Structure 1
Amino acid sequence: MSKKSPERTPPESLHLPRVGVETHAHLDSREFRDDLPQVLDRAAASGIAAMGQVFLGPEAYQANQALFDSHPEVFFLLGVHPTDADKFTDATLAAMDAAFASDARIKAMGEIGLDSYWKDVPPETQHRIFRAQLALARERDLRVVVHSRDAFAETLAVLDDMGFKDRPLLWHCFGGDEAIARELLSRGWLLSIPGPVTYSKNVELARAVAAVDMDRLVVETDCPYLTPEPWRGKRNEPALAVFTAARIAQLKGLSVEDAWRHMGQTAAKFFGLELPK
């Protein structure tokens, strides 16, 4: 007997108001090359009022920002990912500085940080480039969105050394337990929750989310990756953030709409966005 496919509930069927914020998407990736307008339309129909497009370096920003010229609901993040740190030069930093100075649509530096899962870039290179970008963020008083994979202690040590306690910082793709969450919260930072919180085996992540105050949580897809249930196994996209929000609402004992609205407001405050009431 063949295994029955899961029922794929359409995200718009949750009937959420258009007040949500998808804080982290890679919409310039090749996975969206053929249907980006439809993806953005589905996001709006599912209740998303704004979404953060992450440009992985100034070259990607220059090449692809025009994709979103007719979509003011898309705001930008710009940063060099740790797995690209070996390509970082003084010219890269200068181009980033110029972009932040000239484009108010860029709301944060990110995603930047450390990654010990992928071994292509030496740790010392990652640390140097992470610190260079943090220094620019401090100089320009920028919000920061941090990537940390298998490198929690090292990432935290750099941020503490660079004086980022109580500065505007969002921990992208949080996947830790309650103890890790409390370390981040004690520094005044926000946690961005991705689709894996919907996976039944992620018990510690679910417990962490349940323990965190709603004022410190936002939602993301990291699309096209990390697709939530019930669409796991398919390409992720911003509209599917509603299912992550639904799981967070369940863990917090809230209605989906209340959680959706609350996290949208938190994200809007962090990124400096204007949302519908």
Structure 2
Amino acid sequence: MKARRRLAVLPTPLHRLPALERKLGTGPLHLKRDDLTGFGVAGNKARPLEFLLGDALARGADTLVTAGAPSSNFIAAAALAARVCGLRCDILVAGAPTPVELASRSGARLLFTGADRDDLDRLVDEHAAKLRAEGRDPYPVPRGGATPVGALGFAAAAEELADQLAGDATVLIPTGSGASLAGFLAGQAAIGASWRTYGVSVSRPADRMRAEVLDLATRCAALAGTPAPDPRDLHLIDATGTGFGQVSDADRRAMRTVLDTEGILVDPTYGAKMFAALPTEAPAVLWHTGGLPWALKP
């Protein structure tokens, strides 16, 4: 197993949602509270960052290089993780200059690229090469920490869930870059769990995500020295709607329903779309990834 720099308070709680069950008329619903990882407002992003920063420190890196949209929870979490680990942090930001307060307050250098999100991973590699030419030792990380090392965070999370949950279940994980879902599938295969795992894809079409997630899950398993996941264990729900970050009326209703029944805030980009896509199978575990509920008001 790769080096790990502990950041999160783990395990995060798993608890029933009885009021929501009554409201929706479903079987047992459980919520995995990665909004309570206890590291800034990083939510589930603290999990991959533990392994990414552990690997960066083990390699003697001096600068973390990553990228994302201005609203990305990952870039804010990465900036804070680099700060507490004593590394510099360069963040390439999609689009035109705009305030990215959490990342900038953590001391990151923000480089506004004017580029689309899909171009950022290439730009991360190019920027890292430039830093190496200047004599620096960068550690490049693609959007969302989508590497086999980053996926180890959710491979460990699968073991954590197995310790908390008795019996079979349907597991829903909001999916952006695919790293969390890929790691979870690798971890599920490692422990032989028979969960029905759904990725709720909010960023890219489900048919495109499938190959990417399976490839990353296989490479994560190889890194951990565990069996590769069975492709039949991966199920995807397309929740891209009109585009990444676009909040629909259904998303707002889901946010309001969860808040009014259980007093829990979910974000509109990931959490709300997961609750809006609830499958009929129960019992179910819904993975609360954290994030800020900025679109709650009408």
Could you state the TM-score of these two structures normalised by the residue count of structure 2?
Answer: 0.32
TM-score (norm 1): 0.34
